[in-house]
A = this chain, B = another copy of it.
Amino acid sequence: MTDGYEDLESWMDTKVGWSNPTTITVAGANLADELMGSVSFSALAFRLVAGRYPTEGETRVFDAVLVSLADHGMTPTAMAARLTYTGAPESLQGAVAAGLLGAGNVFLGVTEDTAEFLEGILERAEGPGEASLSAAAADAVASCHASGRRVPGLGHPVHKETDPRVPRLYEIAAEEGVMGQHLRLLKIVAETQAASGRRLPINGAGVAGAALADLGFPWKIIRGFALLARTAGLLGHLVEEMQRPIGLPLWKLVDGTISARHENGP
């Protein structure tokens, strides 16, 4: 026997949930009596991560963020999920997992990167005033430029002028009175970037990250909400794939093109 047993009490625990023959407790509440029928799914998701329930205004912003990230068509992640379903229709969880595995640094990770970037500026700013924030933002943007790193949350390959999700999310946050310092700071960052000579629009992942940081979530978990949102989009793709598959014809197109090219040798 090892020492681990002696202090099991100190680490083998969770506040997420537990159960006994008559009761299931989730997020500190009786699942059947207090949660089912009383709280929405997104409110529970908020509670599971934040440890508190959202206010009504926060709920509308949080739902808007999840809605904004759920899908935007035939992305690499949707294609990967569909191609995985082609080979393994017995395992819907495998197709969803494959879709989520592409939600990494290049696309949805921008939510997290933006939140982390804004946190850093807030920590280094000398005060909460606009002048202090602007100075700290200018330093951070200059530091990105100097190191050749993209400014997180800015720029989009398709929405080169305006990402339509961005003004809408600012509008909703303003309507609900929950515009916080991360959303405000992201605008300052975009203005700083524009002042440097090359205007880049705030992108949808960036504004989502800022809004989630304003709701109080630590940046390390923020990518998780992009995953939650995208799961809904993947289900839409997969139910369609069951009815009108593209995985098989896409494979035939690509493999057929390649095999035809090599027909007479390498």
In A22-58, the 8 Å CB interface with B consists of: 22-28, 30-33, 35-37, 39-42, 44-45, 48-49
| A254 in contact with B12 (CB, 8 Å) | yes
Q: Point out the residues of chain B lying under 8 angstroms from A94, CB to CB.
A: 91, 93-94, 97, 101-102, 104
In A229-254, the 8 Å CB interface with B consists of: 229, 231-240, 242, 244-254
How many copies of this kind of chain does the complex include?
4
A240–B48 alpha-carbon span in the complex (Å): 9
Q: Point out the residues of chain B lying under 8 angstroms from A26, CB to CB.
A: 70-73, 233
Contact partner, A73, options B17, B64, B252, Cβ 8 Å: B17
Contact partner, A1, options B37, B109, B221, B257, Cβ 8 Å: B257
Q: Point out the residues of chain B lying under 8 angstroms from A96, CB to CB.
A: 100, 224, 227
Pick out which of these stretches binds chain B: A116-124, A147-155, A157-165: A157-165
| A221 in contact with B32 (CB, 8 Å) | no
With A12-B250, A93-B101 known as contacts, the answer to whether A77 contacts B87 (CB < 8 A) is yes
Nearest-CB distance from A173 to chain B (Å)?
Answer: 10
Pick out which of these stretches binds chain B: A3-11, A138-146, A190-198: A3-11
A21–B14 alpha-carbon span in the complex (Å): 32
| A253 in contact with B104 (CB, 8 Å) | no
| A249 in contact with B11 (CB, 8 Å) | yes
Smallest CB gap from A169: residue in B: B36
With A221-B92, A249-B12 known as contacts, the answer to whether A262 contacts B45 (CB < 8 A) is no
Q: Point out the residues of chain B lying under 8 angstroms from A8, CB to CB.
A: 1, 253, 257
A60–B35 alpha-carbon span in the complex (Å): 11
Nearest-CB distance from A209 to chain B (Å)?
Answer: 13
Nearest-CB distance from A13 to chain B (Å)?
Answer: 6
| B100 in contact with A100 (CB, 8 Å) | yes
Q: Point out the residues of chain B lying under 8 angstroms from A220, CB to CB.
A: 92, 239, 242
Q: Point out the residues of chain B lying under 8 angstroms from A106, CB to CB.
A: 86-89
Contact partner, A240, options B15, B45, B90, Cβ 8 Å: B15
A98 at interface by CB-CB < 8 Å: yes
| A257 in contact with B36 (CB, 8 Å) | no
| A18 in contact with B93 (CB, 8 Å) | no
Contact partner, A236, options B49, B74, B234, Cβ 8 Å: B49
With A37-B168, A89-B105, A221-B242 known as contacts, the answer to whether A20 contacts B253 (CB < 8 A) is no
| A164 in contact with B32 (CB, 8 Å) | yes
